Each structure stands twice: as C-alpha cells, then as structure tokens.
Amino acid sequence: MTKRILLIITLATISLFTYAQGVSFSYLIPKNGYITAPVSPFSVRGIGIGGKVGIETGASLYNIPGLAMTDLPFSYNKPLIGPMFSILAPLQLYWKIPMKGLQVKLLAGGFGWVNLNPKINTGNMDRAYRSYENWQVLNTDFKLKSKPGYGLMGGVEFAFKVSRKFTFTTEFQYLYGSSKTSISGSYTGGGNGQAISTKNVNLDASTLIQGLEISLGVKF
C-alpha cells in the first residue's frame, strides 16, 4: 500500500512539473539488461536554478523489463530482476555553452533510484543457478527486497530552439550505480545420477543501474 501511495504522489507531482516545463521520452540501455520503455508523459528534466551555470533536477518513471545483478556467488550476463516500474531522480550541475541556433549543456552529478514492486526473472535465475551448480534440473523459489539505490551520472544535452515558445532537446547521459537487493529462499534440483537436493539461500546482492540514457523532449 505504501508503494502504491508513493507511486500516485510521484505521478501527480511529475504531471504538474511536466505541464509547466515540457515532456520528454527517456530510454535506458542498461548493461546486461533489457532496453527500458518510457512511461510518457511522466518524465521531466531541467527543473532548476541558474543561468550559464546552475543546478537542476527532475524525475522519470521507467518501465524496466530487466536489470542485471552483482555481488552474487557467480557471474551472469543476463537480467535477473524485472519487470518493474522504477523512478529516477537526478541532481546535477550544468554548464551551458551557447552557439548559433544551438545550446550545448554539460551535466554532471548523481541520481537516486527506487524500484517499485520488483520481481525476479525466474527463468534467467533458474538457468544461472543451474549453470553455477552444474545441475541438469533446478528450480528456484526466491523472494527479494530492493532498497533505494543511487549513483553517478553525467553527459551532454543539445537544445534546438525552433520558436520563441518551443525548444527541442536531445540528451545523452551515462549512469553508474546500484541498489542493495536481498535474496532469500531456496532452490531444488540435481544432476544426472544424483539425488534431488534442496539448498537455502540468503544473499545481500545488488541490482546494477549502469548504462546509457537517451532522452528526447520538448520544452515550452
């Protein structure tokens, strides 16, 4: 219930900011994950203070098909968590470089990240543990808890002014961060000629929030 209330409040807040500032479509190409789909119009960036130099924030609601995990007893290059909705909120310093018909903005700072009702990708998790144990048959029965995450981000924005009221923007940023994610439960399986066995799991892992973010938007 708390997460639902948080989601409703966040969406309402972002909608108000969006009406005042503009809208954007943000795509995230995560490392060892699936490309995210934007939840429009619930993405707004560039809310802040300053002139040529300043500070800005914003928020984006993402529909995350899958992200990778680290700090596991094995390495695996496919998404192990997802699908889920996630909220990204950056806080960055910027420096504007005006040019003829174009404005370049350099950005650097950090971000906060909250996963809403995350789920385990059971198929990929089963295959990961099957390879780790070298078993032919294995099924996991896991639960997870995801804490808010954070990280660093930086990049560049190009703004093209098409009229006195409208400006098109294209933004490229790289994100590097993670969120603590605990996994508990058990898995059952075995190999050829082996008896079926069950092992308990209680891990403090991390969800990897790393990749390229591309945003296309309009400000008015």
Contacts of 81 (CB under 8 A, 6+ apart): 66, 67, 68, 69, 115, 118, 119, 120, 121, 144, 146, 181, 207
Q: What is the pLDDT of residues 174-188, one digit of tens each?
A: 999 999 999 999 999
CA dihedral of residues 4, 9, 14, 20 (deg, nearest 10): 150
* Count of domains observed in the chain: 1
Domain extent, residue 142, equals: 2-219
SS3 label, residue 99: strand
Please give the model's pTM, rounded to 2 decimal places.
Answer: 0.82
SS3 label, residue 126: helix
pLDDT averaged over the chain?
Answer: 86
Q: What is the pLDDT of residues 82-108, one digit of tens each?
A: 999 999 999 999 999 988 878 999 999
Higher pLDDT, 120 or 12: 120
Rg (CA), the chain: 21
Residue 108 tokens, joined: 């650097």
* DSSP single-letter state for residue 120: B
CATH classification at residue 196: 2.40.160
Considering only 2-11, 17-26, 59-68, which range has the smallest mean pLDDT? Answer: 2-11
Using 50, 70 and 90 to split pLDDT, how confident is the model at 161? confident
Q: How distant, in Å, are the alpha carbons of 42, 155, 185, 190, 216 from that of 171?
A: 16, 8, 41, 49, 7
Q: What is the pLDDT of residues 200-214, one digit of tens each?
A: 999 999 999 999 999
Using 50, 70 and 90 to split pLDDT, how confident is the model at 9? very low
